[in-house]
Amino acid sequence: MLRLGTREFAPDEPVIMAIVNRTPDSFYDRGATFLDEPALERVGHAVDEGAAIIDIGGVKAGPGEEVDAAEEIRRTVGFVAEVRRRHPAVVISVDTWRHEVGTAVCEAGADLLNDAWGGVDPRLAEVAGRYGVGLVCTHAGGARPRTRPHRVEYPDVMADVLRVTTSLAERAVELGVPRESVLIDPGHDFGKNTRHSLEATRRLPEMTATGWPVLVSLSNKDFVGETLDVPLKERLLGTLATTAVSAWLGAQVYRVHEVAETAQVLRMVAAIAGRAEPAVARRGLA
């Protein structure tokens, strides 16, 4: 059972995490949710479309203008508090690698810390343990925050993913994070080239076999763009195809931009797998 905030999710229940970037230079939406009202509207739409988790980020993942901890806190803390006020049942996640930000957002009501840079600040897990919130333990190949991979190599990429993520997960539990609130993430594109991300996808059963719930962040990423040779705004179909494969292979949480489309894919996969019934079943029965 995965427990985040006040919510519980069965092991075979797919969970959508909607991305809400509080940045003026985010790679996908180019700052569309930087201001409060558009961002709050985005949260409302995402919840209505089926998102159980809202993932709030105050710093773009890629290189760009320097954003210090104080500015990241300014972009996220008040927003976390307002989302908590408007949506008391939603799980609030904050995408950060800094323990100072983690402390501030937990005080404001966050339920989950999404550490996309693989424990580069080891004190972030201590914050999660102190507040009893969830933690996403990600493989980033040792990359520093906001850097792009360059000629990165692994003797076995999945072996490295398993070693890093399970070690981070066990450390988190030792620090007080509830075991049922820890997730592992292969870290598509983070410290990886396209072939690494594709291999990590097809070998997801090795991650699910660890017993930790698996989160995948696939949405419109570069490995999709390079695989299909399509620009940023034409990556939805590739993203949804990868989502369907990941669902079939056992991933549980999906960090996405397009909530409604992802929800349909996950429902279809669940029905094919026999874990869900069709919404309507009239054909051949009338």
Buried b (16+ CB within 10 A) or exposed e, 222-259: bbbbbbeeeeeeebbebbbebbbbbbebbbbbbbbbbb
pLDDT band at 19 (very low <50, low <70, confident <90, very high): very high
222-260 pLDDT, tens digit each: 999 999 999 999 999 999 999 999 999 999 999 999 999
Residue 56 identity:
I
Strand, coil or helix: 175? coil
Q: In this prediction, what percent of the chain has a pLDDT beyond 90? A: 94
Q: Is 255 a catalytic residue?
A: yes
- Catalytically annotated residue among 22, 255, 267, 283: 255
pLDDT band at 28 (very low <50, low <70, confident <90, very high): confident
pTM of the model: 0.96
Q: Is 221 a catalytic residue?
A: yes
pLDDT at residue 33 in the model: 84
Strand, coil or helix: 218? coil
- Catalytically annotated residue among 75, 192, 221, 235: 221
**Lowest-confidence region among 21-30, 32-41, 190-199:** 21-30
Q: In this prediction, what percent of the chain has a pLDDT beyond 70? A: 99
138-147 pLDDT, tens digit each: 999 999 999 9
Which residue is listed with tokens 């000629």?
A: 151
pLDDT at residue 34 in the model: 84
CB neighbours of 70 closer than 8 A, spacing ≥ 6?
Answer: none
Which whole number is the average pLDDT over 50-54? 98
- The chain-wide mean pLDDT, for the chain, equals 96
147-204 pLDDT, tens digit each: 999 999 999 999 999 999 999 999 999 999 999 999 999 999 999 999 999 999 999 9
Q: SS in 3 state form for 99-126?
A: HHHHHHHHHHCCCEEEECCCCCCCHHHH
Which whole number is the average pLDDT over 102-124? 98
Q: Is the separation of the CB atoms in 95 and 80 below 8 Å?
A: no
pLDDT at residue 7 in the model: 98
CB neighbours of 72 closer than 8 A, spacing ≥ 6?
Answer: 58, 59, 96, 98, 101
pLDDT at 30 over 80: no
Cα–Cα distance for residue pair 255/60, rounded to 1 Å = 15
Q: Which of 14, 5, 6 is nearest to 213 (CA)?
A: 14
Q: Is the separation of the CB atoms in 32 and 70 below 8 Å?
A: no
pLDDT at residue 286 in the model: 73
pLDDT band at 280 (very low <50, low <70, confident <90, very high): very high
Distances (CA, A) of 138 to 30, 64, 118, 119, 133: 25, 22, 5, 8, 16
